[in-house]
Amino acid sequence: MAEPALSIRGLTKVYGNGFQALKGIDLDVQQGDFFALLGPNGAGKSTTLGVVCSLVQKSEGKVSIFGIDIDKDFAKAKYQLGVVPQEFNFNQFEKVIDIVLAQAGYYGMTRREALPRAEQLLRDLGLWDKRNGNARMLSGGMKRRLMIARALMHRPKLLILDEPTAGVDIELRRSMWEYMRRINQDEGTTIILTTHYLEEAESLCRNIAIINHGEIVRNTSVRELLAELNTETFLLDLAEPVTAPPVIDGFEIAQIEPSQLSIVIQRGQQLNDVFSALSEQGVRVVSMRNRANRLEEMFVSMVEAGNKAIDERTQAEAQA
């Protein structure tokens, strides 16, 4: 079997103030995967990725990129790695073209090698017309795309995207998804994505790890995770307002607004039964949608369970 694109064993990070951000995590991301690393703010996602790309010094543990141990030959490992950080980290006063060409130069690419690559990437990402403008003049979405172009200049085999679509409008987000899918499928680039848009992870990623309080609480495929969902909540918009929520045996129905109901469907239950019962009671439904994205429900329940467990542990320790 091929070496994983990223292998992490027993990774621990304790910051100078004593805060333990990572508590010995193990993680494998296989070559060619589109992998989501999810977790609430402060869970340890950025610290993990920071260690992988040398922005954070690990306290303990082992990290290998395509089988190259970063403690033994980090420079070689870095050639395989492209990084798109959460925050803008380029000189805002430089020209767009200079930013991508300089990055190529840092990887030893001559200007002659780098120019066609820069043109291709900037064209693909809709920035070619802006190449001679100052980076600070770009919109937020363009700045994000600039960081993607910069990260891909040296043709990395592993691309790390730390919240790449934060603050990007929906249309642009979808076009960025398309681009990410393309480089994953057509060029075989392994992608690790962190995001707060769980719809993004559900739509793009095949495998997923959820990190909370510095520990991996789940590491599985998106499909398996979604299959575990026992319930799904739908919102029904009604043609006319109702004074009280209809009662249907076996279904949990709540009234959100006079013309809107929420209904929880358990695994094995049929939506047809709901519609038939509503129809019999004279309630007409004009539209229906998921209350939240399915993965989001799963994510929230896991994080809440994790937080509850920690609260209980803290209380038990306090009582002891």
Judged by CB under 8 A, does residue 149 bind other proteins?
Answer: no
Binding other proteins by CB under 8 A: which of 45, 130, 131, 150? 150
Nearer to other proteins, 88 or 128 (CB): 88
Give the type of residue at 114.
Answer: A
Establish if 75 lies at the interface with other proteins (CB under 8 A): yes
Q: Does 85 bind other proteins (CB under 8 A)?
A: yes
- Choose, by CB under 8 A, the member of 24, 105, 133, 245 that binds other proteins: 105
Cα separation values, 212 from 155, 180, 306, 310, Å: 32, 26, 7, 11
Smallest separation, CB 54 to other proteins (Å): 6
User: How long a stretch of residues is the chain?
Assistant: 320
- 103 touches other proteins (CB under 8 A): yes
Residue 22 contacts other proteins per CB under 8 A: no
Residue 14 near other proteins by CB under 8 A? no
Compute φ and ψ for 279, nearest 5 degrees: -60, -45
Q: Which amino acid is at 168?
A: V
The window from 49-57, 161-169, 170-178, 303-311 that contacts other proteins (CB under 8 A) reads 49-57
Q: Tell me if 106 contacts other proteins by CB under 8 A.
A: yes
Q: Cβ 133 to other proteins, closest distance in Å? A: 14
Q: In the complex, what is the shortest distance from the CB of residue 109 to other proteins, in angstroms, rounded to a whole number?
A: 7
Q: Which of 20, 220 has the CB closer to other proteins?
A: 20
87 binds other proteins (CB under 8 A): yes
Q: Which is nearer to other proteins, 83 or 274 (CB)?
A: 83
In whole angstroms, the minimum distance from the beta carbon of 91 to other proteins comes to 5
Give the N- to C-terminal CA distance of the chain in Å, as an integer.
Answer: 49
Q: Candidates 34, 35, 66, 90: give the one binding other proteins (CB under 8 A).
A: 90
Residue 50 in the binding site for other proteins (CB under 8 A): yes
- Select the span of 90-98, 226-234, 235-243, 307-315 touching other proteins (CB under 8 A): 90-98
Q: Judged by CB, which is closer to other proteins: 134, or 233?
A: 134
Instruction: Please give the structure tokens belonging to residue 72.
Output: 């033994």
CB hemisphere CA count around 287 (13 angstroms): 3
By rule CB under 8 A, what count of residues binds other proteins? 33
Q: Which residue in 101, 94, 194, 86 sits closest to 138, CA to CA?
A: 94
Is 109 a residue that touches other proteins (CB under 8 A)? yes
Where along the sequence are the contacts to other proteins (CB under 8 A)?
15, 50, 53-57, 74-76, 78-79, 81, 83, 85, 87-93, 98, 101-103, 105-110, 150
